[in-house]
Amino acid sequence: MENRCPTGISEFDKLVSGGFPRGRTILVLGECGTGKTIFGAQFVYNGASIHNEPGILVLLEQNPSEFKSDMAAFGMDFKALEAESKVIIIDASLARLGVEAIVGKLPVTSESFSLLPGETNVEHLTDVIIRAAKTIDAKRVTIDSLPALELMVDGELTVRKLLLRMNYRIKDAGLTTVIISELDNNGVQVTHGVEKYVVDGVVSLHYTKVGPTAGRTLTIDKMRNTAHSEEIHTIRFVDGEGIEVVEE
């Protein structure tokens, strides 16, 4: 199990040989309402609270206070983990800063990193992630979400280079990373799609609203260096826990 990074998500780790391969980057895709933010939050929260592996959360869309309030409804007390220096939340909200002013100076607190208005520079954001990780000896990172990050760049080739560089640097820091991205209502990826070829694993979340298969499901489309399930699995939201894969 030393080469596995367990998510702690009920029944999920059984589908990926005990967890994600350590030091790899996993893309979590999903339509609106499928639970991709919850999945990414559980990965970091369970790491810190169950496996004694501190983690970093990078929020590019949601206000950290709202995020912590939302996750508390699923039993995830991120405020407590911040106070214990087991989690650092990097506030890089595009809604707050504006697309043209996403990263700047490093914060002075150790509990929560906040990116101040400055130059649009993904390299600097990566610097902040790595520095934050070193501060608490973090092992895990969740970046939420990729479409917001891609607003910084233009063109598929540039996006691919961006992801390759960011992925290399985060891996080199010894971090296992979950990057969240989006599918539209037709199940089509809203970004360029090149990230599927850059990352080491792809987990897709779906929400069928009508018909005999109505409900939320999960598939593992790709997972390098890992034997994994190729079936469609039902998932559900559980109070006080988050996402759970329904055992069949």
pLDDT digits 0-9 by tens, 162-212: 778 888 999 999 999 999 998 765 555 545 565 677 889 999 999 888 777
Instruction: Give the burial string for 178-215 (b: 16+ CB within 10 Å, else e).
Output: bbbbbbeeeeebebbebbbebbbbbbbbbbeeeeeeee
Taking every pair of C-alpha atoms in the chain, what is the biggest distance, in angstroms?
53
Tell whether the torsion through CA atoms of 118, 108, 25 and 202 is positive or negative: negative
Give the fold, CATH level 3, of 26-205.
Rossmann fold (3.40.50)
Report the number of secondary-structure helices (H) and strands (E) in the chain: 8, 12
pTM, entire model: 0.87
- For residue 96, give Cα distances in angstroms to 143, 215, 234: 17, 33, 35
Q: Please state the domain extents for the chain.
A: 26-205
- DSSP three-state, residue 9: coil
pLDDT digits 0-9 by tens, 20-66: 999 999 999 999 899 999 999 999 999 999 999 999 999 988 888 99
